[in-house]
Structure 1
Amino acid sequence: MSLLESSYKNVPTGIRKLLYVNWAIVLLTIAIACAGFLMLYSVAGGSVEPWLDPQLNRFGFGLFLMIAIGMVPIWFWRNVSAVGYIISLLLLVAVELFGEVRMGAQRWINLGFMVLQPSELAKITLVMFLAAYYDWLPLAKRSRPLWIAIPLAAVLVPTFLVFKQPDLGTALLLAVGGGTIIWLAGVHWAYFAVVVSAGIGTIWAVFESKGTSWQLLKDYQYDRINIFLDPSQDPLGAGYHITQAKIALGSGGVTGRGFMQGTQSGLDFLPEAHTDFIFTTLAEEFGFIGATTLLALYLLLIGFCFASALQNRDRFSSLLTLGISMTFFLYFAVNMAMVMGLAPVVGVPLPLVSYGGSAMLVLMVGFGLVQSAHIHRPR
């Protein structure tokens, strides 16, 4: 316990919890979100409508959620982790049966008070469930086949349901995020060697199945792979998105064209400039300096989460914090790689920056769990 923390002993519990909040994480989430607010204002041509105003309201509510969730003891979240996971699975099944179709995909469900994308919620509840499972499981049983089957099924079931929507990007994030927790829990490396081999075999099967009766991906997903490998095949069709994104990234130079001076987004050459491709808007207007500054903020946020996890002597809290950090990392790493042409376009938003309700609120809930683990760690 630090000298500063020891001075909090006589402070009332509620106020003491606020003093224990990891304010660095709070300030970094605000800084990153502000970058998104600027970009949404710019993309709308200097207007708070239609994107900035609702985004501000969502972030304000998300910030309240983060602090409120952080005030709840971490043992409560450990105890309800299985319930949360089951609810997210039921919501994914409900999407399959009653979900709304947008842009050719069935990913959303109308709850009345909001339209939710359950696949976003599943990213957090999966991490919670796996962290609670390995907190409960004796260390000696971590690598035994029977006890590996349970977390493996827990990862594969939501991954399959999301893949069917179809949402390849989120399905990959679920699989990698879940696998990361299993690895962090200390499962033997031989299992991961089998998974890597199976992954290579799956990639082979994906390409071999194209044009057959057992084709594994949708036609548009094969188009994304082909365009990723060579965007010049169809620069005005399937390759249009990534071609325009690269033009925006390159035209920004070192310092950028200036706020609201981007031609790619301003003249509507850049598709989905307010969601998946918002990073290219920022890079065009603020250049290499602006892009690397945002990346530095992301890495700082991950660094503070990792530091909090290392300070925690509770296994559930440490695994939960590391798992949410890795989920957050995958969000921005995949999005940035996607818009730079280093990965296929898979429709992953830029966290806290892209326009959208479900992704932002779920991430703020995730950081609320990180705060709960930090506030209630043994001192």
Structure 2
Amino acid sequence: MSLLTPIRLTRARADRRSALWQADWVLVVGVLALSAIGALLIWSATYQRTSLTDGNQYAFLLRHALNFAIGSILAVGAALTDHRRVRILAPVLYVASLLGLILVLVPGVGAVINGSRSWIQLPWMSIQPSEFAKLAVIVGMALLIAEKGETNHRENARTVDVAQAIAVAAVPVILVMLQPDLGTVMVLGSIVFGIIAVSGVPKRWMLGLVTAATVVATLAIQFNVLKDYQLARFKAFADPSQDPQGIGYNINQARIAIGNGGVFGQGLFHGSQTQNAFVPEQHTDFVFTVAGEELGLIGAGAIIVLFALIIWRGLRIAVNARDAFHRLVATGIVCWFAFQAFENIGMTLGIMPVTGLPLPFVSYGGSSLLAGLLAIGLLQNIHLRTHQI
């Protein structure tokens, strides 16, 4: 056995070198660029706000860097994990996310921030389980649909398979609605729609999903499932001028900040709206306004281009995936990033309602960044498996 050990070590090292060269480096560079821009924007939005930083102007920058370092380790681990083990761990991730979503609803455990009980507050950090639930829904639905198809030797999913997959997604959706976190529910809905769309079911399923979503939204309003402030956000979206100092304040200030930037921006750390703290939650949900004001159309446009690059690489990985499970996982991740980026940027521009969603890789938030980087690691895992000889 001792004679074989050097050979195994050599092969393991060769596999790691091969994985390094075969990784999708365009995807990696896109994520690195977004995270670096995000770090600068977060720093600009927080370094003068002593009420947030306790006098340490580098506080949020260092925390963001630490979160990115931890997330990068998770991403590398996910990328190098054997694809069979990914399938085994999928149910574990799903169950763990459900436990987290249940815990946040327990009084004394879940912390209420901005009207939503979505966080578990620990002594050294806060965790938002709903961010990891997005990934759990993706792998849970993909595993169920793929396993059913492989068992029955069918390339396309059957109606019963899709119904079961939707049931898998419905449990975390209900738990997230109870927080309530409307933005995450919208993201989960886009994930479900995208996965079902590429599963091979008849097109009438798509119409059925849209109809069901409309009915559920109507019932949620009729039975007061949504909080008053959430309904007010939709009213402000329709007419921001009706309460400019109240619920419409965020939207109006965001528009002013972006409008101040012009083409080239006012310069990093020099935005008048940003540095005078006129835009609430600017380092988290409204971080795009910092880019619009201080980096201008050029900088804000670069962020959009980088997201388009990531989505393109994700779609490419999905198309080239070797099996249904990996294709569905890649599709779900792409739908997640695409919809959340569109919703976040859209709400700062006033073309989408305010929902409290962070901008992936750019906004400050440990759970969002860790979950996003873990998803990038899974995309790399699928890409590497596709290119294995």
Match of 2:17? 15
Match of 1:30? 32
Letter in 2 for 1:118: P
1:376 positional shift: 2.1
Match of 1:118? 129
* 1:318–1:205 CA distance, 2 compared to 1 (3 A): closer
Match of 1:291? 300
1:56-75 deviation line (CA, Å, top 9, x unaligned): 11112211221122111122
2:154 and 2:18 mapped to 1: Cα distance?
Answer: 38
1:215 positional shift: 2.1
Find the partner of 1:315 among 311, 324, 332.
Answer: 324
2:201 aligned with 1:199, yes or no? no
Match of 2:68? 59
Match of 1:186? 200
1:216-239 deviation line (CA, Å, top 9, x unaligned): 321111111111100100101111
Q: Secondary structure at the match of 2:105?
A: helix
1:197 positional shift: 2.1
Find the partner of 1:353 among 336, 352, 362.
Answer: 362
Residues 48-197 of structure 1 mapped to structure 2, 5 A cutoff: 48-97=57-106, 98-110=109-121, 114-138=125-149, 140=154, 144-197=158-211
* 1:112–1:361 CA distance, 2 compared to 1 (3 A): same
Find the partner of 1:259 among 257, 268, 283.
Answer: 268
* Runs of 5+ consecutive residues of structure 2 not aligned to the other structure: 1-10, 49-55
Q: Secondary structure at the match of 1:12?
A: helix
How many percent identity over aligned positions? Answer: 35
1:111 positional shift: 5.8
Match of 1:39? 41
1:163 positional shift: 1.0
TM-score, scaled relative to structure 1: 0.91
1:205 positional shift: 4.1
Contact 2:117 2:180 in 1 (8 A): yes
Match of 1:225? 234
Runs of 4+ in 1 over 6 A off after TM superposition: none
Contact 1:45 1:260 in 2 (8 A): no
Question: Which has the higher mean CA deviation after the structures are superposed, 61-70 or 339-348?
Answer: 61-70
1:298-336 deviation line (CA, Å, top 9, x unaligned): 111111122222222222122211211211112211101
* 1:71–1:205 CA distance, 2 compared to 1 (3 A): closer
* 1:14–1:26 CA distance, 2 compared to 1 (3 A): same
1:338 positional shift: 1.0
Contact 1:156 1:175 in 2 (8 A): no
RMSD of aligned alpha carbons: 2.0
2:283 aligned with 1:274, yes or no? yes
